[in-house]
Amino acid sequence: MTEPSNAAPFARLLKTLARVEPAEVKAVTVSFVYFALLMFSYFVVRPVRDAMGTVYGVGSLEELYTGTFIASFFLAPAYAFLASRLKLSTFLPWVYGFIAVTMLGFYVLFESRGGQQDRWVAAGFFVWVSTFNVLIISVFWSLMADTFSRTQAKRLFGFIAAGGTVGTIGGPALAALLVTAVGTNTLMLISAAGFVVTAWLVRVLDREKNRLRALGHDAQATTLDRRLGGNPLEGFALLFRSPYLLMIALFILLMTTISTIIYFQLGDLITRAFESREARTRAYAMIDLAVNGTTVFLQLFGTGRLIERFGVTAGLILNPLIMVFAFLAVAFSPVLLVLGTIQVVRRFAEYAVAKPSREMLFTVVDQESKYKAKNVIDTVVYRFGDVTSAWLSAAVLPYGVAGLAVAGIVMSAVWFPIAYRLGRRYEGVRSGEVVGGVPAATVPAR
C-alpha cells in the first residue's frame, strides 16, 4: 500500500523508532494518542487522589484499599455483564464516557462543600479513582492485544506504551502547575474532557483494525462488532480454568503487593514532610513527573529492540531483580530522598520494559480471555494484592520503614521465579496457538 507523500516523513520516523510498517502507521498513531490522552486524563487527578488519601489518614490507608478491593470485586462482574450484552464497539467507548460523568459528579460535590476537607468525601474519591484507574488501563491493553498480533506486539507495544508515558508526564505537570492557581477541583473537569475524547478514539481505532483486516495485514483476526456472551462471572471461570492465566494473576499479585508496600512507605514520609494538601499533591505530582520523564525515552527508542533482542522473559524478571536491591537500600537508609529515588527507578523499569512485556502475554489468548479474564486479573486480583499488602504494611509500619523494606525483599525474592517461568511459558507458545480459558480448538473463526 502506497502512503500519501505528505505522510512519508512521519512514516519513516515511525519506521526508525519502532519499525512500524506503512500500513500500520495510522493504527499505531491512534493507539499512541489514545493511550497518551487516557493516561493524561487519569494522571491529572492522580495527585488529587493521593492527597485525598492523606486527608483520610495515612494510618488508615488499609481501609481505603479494602474499599477499593470491594468496589473492584463488584465492578468486574458488572463489566462482564455489559460486555456480554453490548457489542464491544459500543461498550468500550462508554466505559470512558461513564468515567467522565463521574468526574463531573465529583466536581459538583467538591464545589458544593466549599473547599472543606470532608474525610468521607475524600475516601469516596480515593476509592473510585483507585477503582477505575486499573479498569481504563486494562481496557486499553485488552484492545491492543485484540488489535495487534504477537509479532506486531514485540515491535509496537513499547512505542505505544510511550504514548501513555507522555500522558503521565502531561497530567502531573499540569496538576503541579495549576493546583495552586485554580485548586484541585478544576482538575476534575480537565480529566472529564479527556475521557470524552478518549471514547471517540476507541471508535477510530476500531475502524483502523477493520482496515488492517481488510488489507490482509498481520493483525488479530477478531472483530469488535460482536457481544462476548456468557455470564457476569465468566471472567473468574476463564481465569481458574487456565494455568497460564493463573500464572499471570500470580505475577500481578506479587507486583501489586510490592508496589503497595512502596506506596505506604512513601505516603508515611511525605505526610511527615509536608503539612498542607496542596504541598502533598505537588510532591506526588513531581515524583510522577520524574518517573515518566525518565521512561519515555527508552519506550520510544529502546523497548521494542530490547524485547526482540532479549525476549519477554528478560522484560518480566527485570523488576524483581531491581526491587531486591532497592529494598536493601531502603532498609539501610529509610529517608524520603532514598525512597523517592527508588520509586522513580522501580516505576521506570516497570513502565518502560515490564509493562509492555506483561501486556504481550495476552496476545496469545482467546478474545473472551482478553476482555473478561484480563479484566478480573487487572482489577480484582490487582486490588486484592493492594488490600493484602495494605494491611500487612499497616501491621509492619509501627516498626518503621526499614521493617517494610524487609517484607519487600522477601516478596521480591518470591516474585523472580514466577516471572521467569511465565516468560518461558509465553515464549514456548507455538505460532498460531491460542491459550487461556478457551482451548484453541473451540475458538470460532471470525
Q: Which of the four pLDDT bands, split at 50, 70 and 90, describes residue 218?
A: confident
The grid coordinates of residue 62 equal 488499609
Check residue 344 and give its pLDDT: 75
Q: Which residue has the higher pLDDT, 257 or 333?
A: 257
Tell whether 177 is covered by a domain. yes
Domain span at 163: 20-438
Q: Is the residue at 1 inside a domain?
A: no
Q: What are residue 435's DSSP bridge partners?
A: 365
Percentage above 70 pLDDT, the chain: 87
Model confidence at 212, in pLDDT bands (50, 70, 90)?
confident
3-class SS of residue 79: helix
Asked if residue 235 lies in contact with residue 375, where contact means CB atoms within 8 angstroms, the answer is: yes
- Write out pLDDT tens, residues 158-195: 889 989 888 888 887 787 787 777 777 888 999 999 99
- pLDDT at residue 200 greater than cutoff 90: yes
Is there a domain that residue 5 lies in?
no
Q: pLDDT confidence of 73, banded at 50, 70, 90?
A: confident
Are 88 and 226 contacting, i.e. CB atoms less than 8 angstroms apart?
yes
Average pLDDT, the chain: 81
Residue 113 scores a pLDDT above 80: no
Torsion of CA 261, 265, 270, 273, to 10 degrees: 180
Asked if residue 59 is part of any domain, the answer here is yes
Q: Over pLDDT 90: what percentage of the chain? A: 25
CATH of the domain at 87: 1.20.1250.20
- Is-contact 158 17, C-beta < 8 A? no
- Residue 137 pLDDT > 50: yes
Alpha-carbon gap, residue 360 to 154, rounded angstroms: 7
pLDDT of residue 37: 95
Q: Answer whether residue 139 shows pLDDT above 90.
A: yes
How many structural domains does the chain have?
1
* pLDDT tens digits along 246-283: 999 999 988 888 777 777 777 777 777 777 766 776 77
> pLDDT class for 439, splitting at 50, 70, 90?
very low
Q: What confidence score (pLDDT) does residue 443 get?
A: 38
364 vs 149: CA distance, rounded Å: 8
Among candidate residues 32, 18, 12, the one with its CA nearest the CA of residue 308 = 18
CA distance 95 to 355: 22
Tell whether 444 is covered by a domain. Answer: no
User: Is the pLDDT confidence value at 96 over 90?
Assistant: yes
Residue 224 included in any domain: yes
The mean pLDDT of 286-308, rounded to a whole number, is 75
Cα-Cα-Cα-Cα dihedral sign, residues 436, 221, 140, 67: negative
Per the CB < 8 A criterion, the answer to whether 377 and 139 are in contact is no
Residue 156 has pLDDT above 80, yes or no: yes
pLDDT value at residue 257: 81
Tell me whether residue 2 is in a domain.
no
Q: Rounded to the nearest 5°, which phi and psi values hold at 335?
A: -120, 165
For residue 160, is it within any domain? Answer: yes
Cβ(296)–Cβ(162) below 8 Å: yes
What's the rounded Cα separation, in Å, for the pair 418 and 398?
30
Do 385 and 256 contact (CB within 8 A), yes or no? Answer: yes
